[in-house]
């Protein structure tokens, strides 16, 4: 009897290891970008060059959970050094004081063909807000080196004022220099983590 219970437990833990597998963002094939309207008519895009992230994915059930993303604020890059300096300053991200932006998912979701809504806590500039990520699963593949990869897109829109990123400059002809709404888009790939041998 005891033997059977032990065997059952082993089977359960093996199944767990096989089905709910940990994935890590593949930093060299992932972009963490953002877009914001500038001077009313144009759009500035930028990205964060340093980040890491992980989640658990069960391909059989399509379940996604425990998504965590950590972004280094000082890696912001809008291809204009002066603007990047301003964005890192106390006017905006204040990267000395708030070095990381984070997202931590709150629930387990099951992927659908439509973008899946994943709720979680986004922390920017030291302020934590609940946001919903639109998660679009693009499929899975095994690369030539035998790594299991999945491709995805995750996006959300936030109001920068919610995170106390308030700087603006009025324009003579009306409107503000940069808009309040920021679109965040993470596009890329994640790699299945192989158990340590
Ligand atoms: C944010 O989400 C968490 C987890 O779902 C919940 O417990 C909390 O009440 C939410 N906070 C707000 C301000 O909605
Ligand atoms: C711009 O910023 C100033 C100072 O923080 C604020 O009083 C004003 O309401 C802001 N204007 C807009 C349109 O956001």
Tens of pLDDT, residues 84-139 = 998 899 988 999 999 999 999 998 888 766 778 999 999 999 999 999 999 988 88
Where are the extended beta strands (E) located within the chain? 21-25, 31-38, 42-48, 51-58, 63-72, 76-77, 100-105, 109-110, 116-124, 127-142, 148-159, 178-192
Q: What pLDDT is attached to residue 14?
A: 44
Residue 141 Cα to ligand 1 midpoint, Å, equals 35
* Ligand 2 contacts CB of residue 176 (under 6 A): yes
The secondary structure of 175-197 as a DSSP string is: SBSEEEEEEEEEEEEEEEPPPP-
Q: In which element (H, E) is residue 2 found?
A: helix 2-19
Q: What pLDDT is attached to residue 138?
A: 86
| Residue to mutate (ligand 1; options 106, 109, 119, 132; most atoms within 8 A of CB) | 106
Q: Which ligand is nearest to the CA of 176?
A: 2
Does residue 41 register a pLDDT over 90? no
SS3 4: helix
Residue 27 Cα to ligand 1 midpoint, Å, equals 29
Q: Give alpha helix (H) positions in 56-188.
A: 81-88
Q: Which domains, from first to last, does the chain contain?
A: 21-192 (2.40.128.110)
Q: Which ligand is nearest to the CA of 166?
A: 2
Does residue 170 register a pLDDT over 70? no
Residue 170 Cα to ligand 2 midpoint, Å, equals 8
| Residue to mutate (ligand 2; options 168, 174, 180; most atoms within 8 A of CB) | 168
Neighbours of 71 (CB within 10 A): 24
- Neighbouring residues of 167: CB distance < 8 A, sequence distance ≥ 6: 91, 92, 178
Six token digits for residue 43: 């759009």
Are residues 35 and 182 in contact, defined by beta-carbon separation less than 8 angstroms? Answer: yes
Does residue 7 register a pLDDT over 60? no
* Ligand 2 contacts CB of residue 168 (under 6 A): yes
Does residue 143 register a pLDDT over 80? yes
Neighbours of 14 (CB within 10 A): 10
């Amino acid at each position: 009897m005891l033997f059977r219970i032990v065997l059952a437990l082993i089977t359960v833990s093996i199944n767990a290891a096989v089905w709910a597998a940990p994935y890590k963002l593949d930093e060299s094939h992932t972009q963490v970008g953002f877009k914001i309207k500038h001077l009313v008519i144009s759009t500035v895009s930028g990205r964060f060059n340093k980040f890491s992230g992980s989640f658990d994915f069960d391909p059989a059930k399509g379940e996604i959970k425990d998504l965590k993303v950590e972004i280094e604020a000082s890696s912001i890059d809008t291809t204009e050094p002066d603007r990047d300096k301003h964005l890192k300053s106390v006017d905006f991200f204040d990267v000395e004081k708030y070095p990381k932006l984070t997202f931590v998912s709150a629930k387990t979701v099951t992927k659908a063909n439509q973008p899946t809504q994943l709720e979680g806590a986004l922390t920017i500039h030291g302020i934590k807000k609940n946001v919903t990520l639109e998660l679009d699963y693009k499929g899975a593949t095994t690369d030539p080196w035998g790594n299991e990869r999945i491709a995805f897109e995750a996006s959300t829109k936030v109001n920068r004022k919610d995170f106390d990123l308030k700087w603006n400059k009025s324009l003579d002809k009306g409107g503000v220099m940069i808009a309040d709404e920021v679109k965040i888009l993470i596009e890329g790939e994640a790699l299945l983590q192989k158990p340590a041998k």
